[in-house]
Amino acid sequence: MIRLDNVSKFYYRKGMITSGISKVSLSLDIGEFVVITGESGSGKSTLINVISGVDSYEEGEMYVDGQETSHFSSEEFEDYRRRCIANIFQEFNLVSSYTVRQNVELILQVNGCSREEIDSRVPDIIERVGLAEYSSTRVSKLSGGQQQRVAIARALAKDTSIITADEPTGNLDSVSAAGIVALLHEIAKDKLVIVVTHNEEQFKEYATRIIKMSDGHVAEDLLLQTPEAEDRIHERDYGRIRPAVKLRIGVRNAFNIVPKFVLLLIVFLFIVFSVSSIYANLKTNSQARQAQGYNQYFTNYKDTRIVARNRDKSPLTRADYSRIKAVDGVKDLEKDDVLLDEMYYIENDSISVYGYPCSLSSLHGRLDIGTRPSDDSGVVLACAKSDLGENPESILGKTYTLQSDADTGAEEPMKVKIAGVRYTKSEAEAEGESDARIYLQEKQLASMRHAAYLRVSTVTTRAGTQSYRYTSAENMYPVVASSRVAAGGAMVPEELNGGYADGRARGKKLSIHVENMYFKKTCTLKAAGVYTGRSYKKLTGGQSMEESTSEIFINEKDYDKLFPHGNYQCSVYAADVHQVDRINRVLQKEGFKTLALKNALQGDQFGGVIDIIQVPLAILLLVAVFFISYFVIRLILRSRTSYFGILQMLGMARKDTRHLLEIELMTVAGIAGAVFLVLVHLLDAGIVPGSYLQNLAGQLHLRDDLILLAMLAVIACLIAGRFSRALSRKSAMSNYREEA
Ligand code: ADP
Ligand code: MG
């Protein structure tokens, strides 16, 4: 049932070809106890390896039950070994870190046996080879004779028709050897047992046939007994290893050898640390780049600022403000959005401080110096102590000018007195973001708001057939409130006469239209008259008229219609830039129209170039990390080559050995990832100090953690894949030899 027809096997090594066996023809049957002898190097091992499908052959043909095997794929050879062959090796080929029982179980697990079958067969077999009391002893603690018994037990457990043994007594003393020979004889019934030995005396008593090898040829073939012929191989219907068993063994392997586990853990910590650094670095850079952008409509583009307004453009109400404030993560609400995009200076000869104006009603708590103001012109300053010079107290009660850098100087700057000060962080402490504020009475604030609205508005006055346009850049035809003009009327400059057919504006209709990013308003009035030098003085309360004078004076009530009180837009500051996107979404869901400043910035022109350099650089680094890790892991796993060689010889498919390795590496990688993330987030929470990792932690959120773990798993898989490809390029035998 096994027939060799002129079979030759060559070894190629360093350009040299040696022949293991040449032109061997043989026929072997079930029931035979074949002993192969011969000098060292005569080809005994080669012959037995070819017969058991562990090694390939180059010439001739081997038939198994009449079937040609020369065209077998490696999978078909795996299948043949799994169903028909059990090997016993001279070097035992046991997993020395496993117990006796685990070693015997392994062969059944690898071949897909069920738990029940394993439990029912294994103890009997261990008993049969006389090792019952060593069942849970590690193989590395056993003597040579005992280890050979384990190897035999393993072959017995597999219970195939063909058992091969390469010098099974070679490493044993004569007493142990005699026991092994008897054991082999005992199991030989109904099987084909092929034993290689250079001591044929030991087997004389039991052998049915002795084949003498010499120089790769069969020199002598001596039949001692005719076997009770049974000419077909009884094939076992073994399958592949079960997934649950694979998982269990893979995880067990991760911890089996402690030094190996520790080394792998260190490598994976290195990987997770590098990968997360590269990742966080990339993220930091892209955030920094976003923050470096600009926006033409805003000068205050703090990355935590979100601008919100009602969808229907109606003014914001108290209820709106409380809905906004209720959103989780909102730190500050700035009602006077219009005042946020200009710089306001409060200055005199000795100091100059800038800040954002806001209402005294939003100032709570203690002041550091001075008191809250009692009169209209009093203000409270919130700024860094260092901005106020040597003697901060000296500024209290003095008069300062308060004006915007957007102010064209057409109007008199506002005069204020500093009544009190609260100290804030300096710009350096606040990382360049000034939190300086100027707290004013509502009346003052309203006039600043009006002035600010006017600065961002286009005012079109239509008088007869002509239009006169005001913008802050041109500063012609501004609209000014005056109590000296009756409601519904307007005092206009002389130019406006030109719009009417009769050249007289007085008593005619004119309309004023105000438009800005917040609102559009129109008001229709009647020209009460054209002012002259004298009436101009009255209207302005003392100013003299100049050549360029072009104001249009209207009643305060009409002015309020054009520039209404109340706010159409407000600004929200998030406590943390990471929360901006979420807050933005919540506000939109609440019905507000919003704009997060950090998303509204145009990147600087180098942004794209930096991306082009940085992303491939990160990929390059990742590849470098991968290869460094791969080579280190390969070194660590070198000692595992023989383990995987054993598994392959026990009949495990290549794919399954790869899975085992993947599971092993992923287990360690998972532990490394978990250790790293726990550490980093403890740092983040401030429980353990450490600034570099803290910065890293600031960049890693749940989604990033998951991405990181996934990347780690992919790297573990890639390494396992590469390593097992390297394994499978060689035959099972040469993997085993590499270690031997
Ligand atoms: P034996 O088992 O009888 O000692 P082998 O089958 O191991 O003999 O070796 C037969 C011949 O093949 C020898 O000449 C040996 O040098 C050669 N040989 C065996 N294994 C290899 C190998 N892995 N690479 C190269 N030559 C080998
Ligand atoms: Mg040999």
Distance, in Å, from the CA atom of 402 to the CA atom of 387, rounded to the nearest integer, reads: 16
Could you count the other beta carbons within 10 Å of the beta carbon of residue 106?
23
CA of 740 to the centre of ligand 2 (A): 12
Phi, psi (5° rounding) for residue 700? -100, 110
Q: Tell me the pLDDT tens digit for each residue of 481-493.
A: 888 999 999 999 9
Does residue 304 have its Cβ closer than 6 Å to ligand 1?
Answer: no
Burial label for 12, CB within 10 Å (0-12, 13-18, 19+), is exposed
Q: What pLDDT score does 21 carry?
A: 95
CA of 19 to the centre of ligand 1 (A): 8
Q: What pLDDT score does 605 carry?
A: 46
Q: What pLDDT score does 261 carry?
A: 94
Nearest-CA residue for ligand 1 atom 2 is: 45
Distance, in Å, from the CA atom of 575 to the CA atom of 644, rounded to the nearest integer, reads: 55
Output DSSP code: residue 136. Answer: T
| pLDDT higher than threshold 90 for residue 414 | no
Q: What pLDDT score does 732 carry?
A: 53
| pLDDT higher than threshold 70 for residue 525 | yes
Q: Tell me the pLDDT tens digit for each residue of 550-589.
A: 899 999 999 989 988 778 889 999 988 888 889 999 999 9
Phi, psi (5° rounding) for residue 169? -110, 5
CA of 11 to the centre of ligand 2 (A): 14
Report residue 548 as tokens. Answer: 């360029």
| pLDDT higher than threshold 90 for residue 392 | no
Does residue 13 have its Cβ closer than 6 Å to ligand 1?
Answer: yes
CA pseudo-torsion sign 386, 405, 438, 415: positive
| pLDDT higher than threshold 60 for residue 602 | no
Write the CB contacts of 351 (distance below 8 Å, at least 6 apart in sequence): 387, 388, 389, 395
Q: What pLDDT score does 23 carry?
A: 95
Nearest-CA residue for ligand 1 atom 19 is: 20
Does residue 42 have its Cβ closer than 6 Å to ligand 1?
Answer: yes
> Which of 134-138, 296-300, 463-467, 725-729 comes out lowest in average pLDDT?
296-300
Q: What pLDDT score does 8 carry?
A: 95
Run of H or E including 732: helix 732-739
Residues 515, 519, 524, 525: what is their CA dihedral angle, to the nearest 10 degrees? -80
Written in H, E and C, the secondary structure of 698-723 is HHCCHHHHHHHHHHHHHHHHHHHHHH
Q: What pLDDT score does 22 carry?
A: 93
CA of 728 to the centre of ligand 1 (A): 21
Q: What pLDDT score does 730 carry?
A: 60
- Give yes or no for a contact between 62 and 4, defined as CB atoms under 8 angstroms apart: yes
Question: Beta strand 67-68 with 85-88: parallel, antiparallel or unpaired?
Answer: unpaired
Nearest-CA residue for ligand 1 atom 24 is: 11
Residue with tokens 């209404």: 564
Could you count the other beta carbons within 10 Å of the beta carbon of residue 375?
8
Does residue 43 have its Cβ closer than 6 Å to ligand 1?
Answer: yes
Q: What pLDDT score does 230 carry?
A: 62
- Between these two residues, 568 and 171, which has the higher pLDDT value? 568
Does residue 46 have its Cβ closer than 6 Å to ligand 1?
Answer: yes
Angle between helices 654-684 and 243-256 (to 10 degrees): 60
Nearest-CA residue for ligand 1 atom 17 is: 20
Q: Tell me the pLDDT tens digit for each residue of 460-474.
A: 999 989 999 988 778
What ligand has the least distance to the C-alpha of 166? Answer: 2
Percent of all residues in the chain with a pLDDT value above 90, rounded to a whole number: 33
CA of 9 to the centre of ligand 1 (A): 10
Does residue 41 have its Cβ closer than 6 Å to ligand 1?
Answer: yes
| pLDDT higher than threshold 90 for residue 386 | no
Q: What pLDDT score does 559 carry?
A: 92
Quick one: average pLDDT of 130-152? 91
307: closest CA among 587, 604, 590, 589? 587
- Between these two residues, 262 and 454, which has the higher pLDDT value? 262
CA of 41 to the centre of ligand 2 (A): 7
User: 708: pLDDT confidence band, cut at 50, 70 and 90?
Assistant: confident
Strand, helix or coil for residue 368: coil
- Between these two residues, 351 and 718, which has the higher pLDDT value? 718
Nearest-CA residue for ligand 1 atom 5 is: 43
What ligand has the least distance to the C-alpha of 214? Answer: 1
Q: Tell me the pLDDT tens digit for each residue of 652-677.
A: 888 898 999 999 999 999 999 999 88
User: 293: pLDDT confidence band, cut at 50, 70 and 90?
Assistant: very low
Q: What pLDDT score does 138 carry?
A: 93
Distance, in Å, from the CA atom of 87 to the CA atom of 48, rounded to the nearest integer, reads: 9
| pLDDT higher than threshold 90 for residue 476 | no
Closest approach atom of ligand 1 to CA 19: 12
Alpha-carbon 326 to chain mean position: 32
What ligand has the least distance to the C-alpha of 91? Answer: 2
CA of 645 to the centre of ligand 2 (A): 18
Distance, in Å, from the CA atom of 574 to the CA atom of 304, rounded to the nearest integer, reads: 5
Nearest-CA residue for ligand 1 atom 18 is: 20
| pLDDT higher than threshold 80 for residue 292 | no
Closest approach atom of ligand 1 to CA 167: 2
Write the CB contacts of 624 (distance below 8 Å, at least 6 apart in sequence): none
Distance, in Å, from the CA atom of 8 to the CA atom of 49, rounded to the nearest integer, reads: 12
